[in-house]
Amino acid sequence: TFLDRFIAANQEQFPYASGELSQLLRDIALASKIINKEINRAGLVGIEGEVGNKNVQGEDQKMLDMVAHIRFERALCNGKQTCGILSEETDAIIDTKNHQAKYVVSMDPLDGSSNIHVNMPVGTIFSIFRRKSPQGTPPTEEDFMQKGIQQVAAGYVIYGTSMILVYTTGFGVNGFTYEPSLGEFILSHPDIRMRPDGITLSVNQENYNTFPAGVKSYLDYCKKERYKTIYAGALVADFHRNLFTGGIYLYPPSEKYENGKLRLLYECMPLAFIAEQAGGGSTNGQLRTMEIQPTSKHQRSPLFIGSKNMVGRVTDFMVASK
């Protein structure tokens, strides 16, 4: 099944189905195809850059973040279904001038971009809400200050060995693999379910010394149980792996990042929606990620996400240590 057909066939599942959300998802898919192309090409540039000048490499990465951002912005503006965009790459919300549109999109256009110059996977993460402000007016910050449980759809694209788009509209999770010769996404992973348990642990232990006591004891427990640590350094890639094999990804608070590093609106929330829809879980160590009330656009949140029992266990460890 092609993505377009799948979206059309499932349109009646959308709360206010009238084709707009379907179009919006297609716009995102289109932008991701373009970005995939840019990233493939950047690989070549990166390899050359490595031999030469480090600064150029740094600029390259930043450039790609911006390229991805611009591609999405354009696709969403042209698609006309989005009135506002919140992106990791710009501080203010973007008014697409489509004031009649019903939806707003939060996104991290290129997650894990430091992976680019070493040819490791990167991703895009997105979250879609219905606006709160009236149709016909410009988007407001309020439109974005909604809890995860209000998301209409969320997903990610992983630019890896192949490009895969995974999304949910609250009726399970489906994954589509890009077939370059056809230029189409094809349903390759229908109804993805996450195992309740796993042995993969994805965490950067650099800040172990200043992690909360509960996290430290959980990590000690994982060591004792001989869990294996796999960390790609790109949230999308680590999450994707754990989604299929069972596992947990953590980015706890530490001295360096007192609220963790990841952004609530366009990193934690969308992946939490997917995790839950696949039977997994996500918390900030206390609260369900989906129930956190955002208070600012780029706010950070600790993240404990993955197989349900693993997330339950680390959360228990944290509560017990309080």
The binding site for ligand AHM (CB under 6 A) comprises 88, 108, 111-113, 204, 233-235, 261
By C-beta, is 5 or 62 nearer to ligand AHM? Answer: 62
Taking the complex as a whole, how short is the minimal distance between the CB of residue 230 and ligand AHM, in angstroms?
A: 12
Interhelix angle 235-245/269-277, nearest 10 degrees: 10
Taking the complex as a whole, how short is the minimal distance between the CB of residue 263 and ligand AHM, in angstroms?
A: 7
Residue 304 burial (C-beta neighbours within 10 Å; 0-12, 13-18, 19+): buried
CA angle centred on 210, ends 205 and 214, rounded to 5°: 85
- First-to-last CA distance in the chain? 49
By C-beta, is 81 or 202 nearer to Mg ion? Answer: 202
Residues in the chain, total: 322
Q: Are 65 and 116 in contact (CB under 8 A)?
A: no
By C-beta, is 81 or 113 nearer to ligand AHM? Answer: 113
Which residues are near Mg ion by CB under 5 A? 108, 111
What DSSP designation does 300 have? B
By C-beta, is 96 or 115 nearer to Mg ion? Answer: 115
233 makes contact, choosing from Mg ion, ligand AHM, none, with CB < 5 to 8 Å by partner type, with ligand AHM
Q: Which residue has the tokens 């008014």?
A: 95
Taking the complex as a whole, how short is the minimal distance between the CB of residue 306 and ligand AHM, in angstroms?
A: 13
By C-beta, is 27 or 111 nearer to Mg ion? Answer: 111
89 makes contact, choosing from Mg ion, ligand AHM, none, with CB < 5 to 8 Å by partner type, with none
36 makes contact, choosing from ligand AHM, Mg ion, none, with CB < 5 to 8 Å by partner type, with none
203 makes contact, choosing from Mg ion, ligand AHM, none, with CB < 5 to 8 Å by partner type, with none
Taking the complex as a whole, how short is the minimal distance between the CB of residue 217 and ligand AHM, in angstroms?
A: 21
Taking the complex as a whole, how short is the minimal distance between the CB of residue 211 and ligand AHM, in angstroms?
A: 13
Q: Nearest-CA neighbor of 177 among 168, 166, 167, 186? A: 186
299 makes contact, choosing from ligand AHM, Mg ion, none, with CB < 5 to 8 Å by partner type, with none
73 makes contact, choosing from ligand AHM, Mg ion, none, with CB < 5 to 8 Å by partner type, with none
142 conformational bin, left if phi > 0, alpha if psi -120 to 50, beta if neither: alpha
154 makes contact, choosing from ligand AHM, Mg ion, none, with CB < 5 to 8 Å by partner type, with none
Q: Nearest-CA neighbor of 268 among 258, 256, 259, 257? A: 259
Taking the complex as a whole, how short is the minimal distance between the CB of residue 284 and ligand AHM, in angstroms?
A: 15
By C-beta, is 68 or 93 nearer to Mg ion? Answer: 68
Residue nearest to ligand AHM according to CB distances in the complex = 204
Q: Would strands 94-95 and 103-111 be described as parallel, antiparallel, or unpaired?
A: unpaired
Q: What is the spatial distance between Cα 107 and Cα 124, in angstroms, rounded to a whole number?
A: 7
261 makes contact, choosing from Mg ion, ligand AHM, none, with CB < 5 to 8 Å by partner type, with ligand AHM
What DSSP designation does 322 have? -
Q: What is the spatial distance between Cα 80 and Cα 74, in angstroms, rounded to a whole number?
A: 10
Q: What is the spatial distance between Cα 143 and Cα 83, in angstroms, rounded to a whole number?
A: 10
Taking the complex as a whole, how short is the minimal distance between the CB of residue 128 and Mg ion, in angstroms?
A: 17
Q: Are 188 and 43 in contact (CB under 8 A)?
A: no
Taking the complex as a whole, how short is the minimal distance between the CB of residue 178 and Mg ion, in angstroms?
A: 21
Q: What does each C-alpha distance from 13 to 10, 21, 51, 161 come to in angstroms?
A: 6, 11, 51, 31
By C-beta, is 98 or 124 nearer to Mg ion? Answer: 124
